[in-house]
Amino acid sequence: MDITRAQQAALYFASNVSDLYLVKLMKLFYYLDFISVRETGKSVTNDTYFHLPYGPIPSFIKDNIDALDSKVKEEEKKILNPNDRSTPSWLQISSVFDSFLQLNTKGQGKIAAPLAGKVFDGTKLSEYEKGLLDDIVKDLGDKTVQQIVEMTHAEAPYTQTSPSQMIPYELAFQLDVRQILPTRTASFDKEIAFSRFVSS
């Protein structure tokens, strides 16, 4: 898992997509990682994805986004007594996104937003990764949660796996990037990407 890249990607998405509901954020990460594998043979975050009801979900990222929720933190306080010195510190719920994002309630859901003063640090990502982030926001940023969920449900990584099953990255090679990101102009050789993927 590449935590630094995940943090910066989350900050980029939250800074550039309005009303970024958490389900949509998970889908944007899915496209970031799976399109990167399809084009270069390597994932950006190296997270593990699972087939869940709303589509492919990155497990580490989801757990850490959920840990930003104040309700989760309140439940933790009920379970763990902070005054009990026998409670190990590693049981305290924290998130790798604590210094980058906050969750705000909107309607029935939660949206991710950057913390005040937090700005995307482009030096933490490659030019390829920054370009892919740009294209994902350009082509998918305005889509509704329902639209993006329906897209992911129709694609091979989801249709060729079963509920709760881990989604193997090799299914990325069945994605049609031009259909997902119609304005993307970058071109990559699928065979070269696949050979890099197999050798890594």
Count of other CB atoms within 10 angstroms of residue 21? 19
Cα separation of 43 and 185, whole Å?
20
Count up the domains in the chain and report the number. 1
Task: Tell which phi-psi region holds residue 76, choosing left (phi > 0), alpha (psi between -120 and 50) or beta.
Answer: alpha
Look-up of token digits 């800074």: 15
Counting beta carbons within 10 angstroms of the beta carbon of residue 76, is it exposed (0 to 12), middle (13 to 18) or buried (19 or more)?
middle
Task: Give the per-residue pLDDT at 72.
Answer: 53
Task: Provide the residue range defining the domain that includes 113.
Answer: 3-199
With a CB cutoff of 8 Å and minimum separation 6, the contacts of 26 are 54, 55, 56, 57, 58, 61, 62, 65
Angle between helices 59-66 and 22-40 (to 10 degrees): 150
Task: Give the per-residue pLDDT at 93.
Answer: 67
Task: Give the per-residue pLDDT at 95.
Answer: 87
List of the chain residues with pLDDT < 50? 90-91
Residue 67 is given by DSSP the state T
Cα separation of 95 and 85, whole Å?
22
